[in-house]
Amino acid sequence: MLDTTSISSPAAARSTPSSKLRTLAKRAWAWWQDASTGSRSDEVGVAIEPFCFWHGQRSALTGQGGDEPSLIAGYAFHTGYVASTGGTIRFRVRLSGLKATRGKLIVNINAVDGRGLASSRKPKVHKFSLRKLAESGDVIEVSELARANHSYAVVGVLSEDSDAQADAIAITVIGGDSNEALISRLDAARDGFLAAPGEGALANLIIDKQATLADPVSQMCTAHQMHEPIFADLVARLGIGPSLHRKQWEFAYILRMLDFHDKLKPGSRGLGFGVGIEPMSSVFAAAGCEVVATDLPEDDARATVWNETDQLGSDLERIYSPGLCDRDAFFERVRYRPVDMNAIPADLTGFDFCWSSCAYEHLGSIKAGLDFIENTLKTLKPGGISVHTTELNLSSNDNTLDHGSTVLFRRRDFEALVKRLTEQGHEVIPITFDSGDTELDRVIDLPPYTADSHLKLQLLRWVSTSFGLVVRKAG
């Protein structure tokens, strides 16, 4: 068996024109049936160039790939290397018009680490009878559990006794993490689970509506909202210049929703969770509200990362935003209190509104985050408004980060929460899963993230954006 790991290098893959790869990516399958469980997966396949690695060398199977004779006897195909963040990576190979009476197709999945060096793990060898493939079907699939920070390619060679010929080879990868893969997952989600109507008890709560700040509901960040005149007015009140950044949208959305529901007025009481050094407490105090601003206790081990990045709101001086509120008014109207969002003190009650900005995805699990939303309603007066933003998974309604320092909520998680809250008599402001329809809405920011044009981003193998959920406490 030929061990191609010794002669494979991802450097050669970079010679393929990016425009060609983009064209191939557009041929992605929308959905794929998981072969091991029979259940539908939200992973999508991305077409990749079969002859990308040994560019210019002719395939012994199809005669395609280039004009130069192959240096490897029986060379059939060798894709470029596709990055992975872990999880199963699958390659599906279609041999159109395959004709064969003898021989085998020998397939490897080769791996290289982040430095471009061959993985120490010996590649698994897959052998397929070419005669049986020609008789029973022209598609094969190989997979393995991928390592984080590694890249993978699929390689095929023909045995010496093969007489196989095929018209064409098409290869698709599932579980890769190129930008094309991320965009394909996003596009599949937009046409799939994000576009699905609400069912049963959710029929009237999941609505088909463009997300706007002029007429807001529970919604995600989109480019359209940032071009509405009201967005510039909102960020001006927040003391920041307009920017195409989802964090600005979160602040503007929270401010707009509380304005929209007439909660920002003298005498209103507001409770903020995980406030850090955000401007919201100062803006609400300037409107005449009495605010309790909370964040993790400074001596809590979980607060270390926020302290090290200068984002922990550990006292009023750090929370105060000069220029947004008169200093005396701020210190008269705002109190600071250390609070663990997983254990909200029972005496924090009687508020007209509460809020948090991308905080409850850091509570350890999806369950903890959803429980937090439910528990915040206990802090409100009847008719009080709870407004919270978090991370929404735009790639999958199944696979996600469900435990850890950051989790990614899925549509189905919010649907389950909505059912629970409405059964308790609370009013969930209707939800639109409109993800935007401009080119900017399909731009995915990759680590290290930029300061602008940052509406959607890559978190491991998923695409994410900010999502706001609003609930009115039962009256």
How distant is the alpha carbon of residue 277 from its chain centre? 25
CA distance 315 to 323: 18
- The overall average pLDDT reported for the chain is 86
User: Closest Cα to residue 391, out of 357, 438, 343?
Assistant: 357
pLDDT at 22: 33
Q: How confident is the model at residue 23 (pLDDT cuts 50, 70, 90)?
A: very low
Q: How confident is the model at residue 121 (pLDDT cuts 50, 70, 90)?
A: confident
Question: Which residues is 156 bridged to in the sheet?
Answer: 77, 107
> Is this structure's pTM higher than 0.85?
no
What is the per-residue pLDDT across 399-416, written as a single tens digit (0 to 9) for each? 899 999 899 999 999 999
pLDDT at 472: 98
Superfamily (CATH H level) for 193-472: Vaccinia Virus protein VP39 (3.40.50.150)
Per-residue pLDDT at 157 exceeds 50: yes
Q: How confident is the model at residue 37 (pLDDT cuts 50, 70, 90)?
A: very low
By DSSP bridging, strand 32-33 and strand 427-428 are unpaired
DSSP 454: B
CA distance 154 to 397: 28
pLDDT at 316: 93
What is the per-residue pLDDT across 264-305, written as a single tens digit (0 to 9) for each? 999 999 999 999 999 999 999 999 999 999 998 875 554 454
User: Would you say 380 and 354 are in contact if contact means Cβ atoms under 8 Å apart?
Assistant: yes
Q: How far apart are the first and last CA of the chain?
A: 73
By DSSP bridging, strand 380-393 and strand 351-357 are parallel
Could you state, in order of their start, the residue ranges of all structural domains in the chain?
4-175, 193-472
What is the token pair recorded at 327?
A: 């200093």
Helix (H, G, I), strand (E, B), or coil: what is residue 392? strand
pLDDT at 82: 87
What is the per-residue pLDDT across 379-391, written as a single tens digit (0 to 9) for each? 999 999 999 999 9
Q: How confident is the model at residue 180 (pLDDT cuts 50, 70, 90)?
A: confident
CATH of 4-175, one of 3.30.160, 2.60.120, 3.40.50, 2.30.29: 2.60.120
How distant is the alpha carbon of residue 414 from its chain centre? 15
Phi and psi, residue 413, nearest 5°: -65, -40
Beta strands in 296-431 (DSSP E): 334-338, 351-357, 364-365, 380-393, 403-404, 427-428
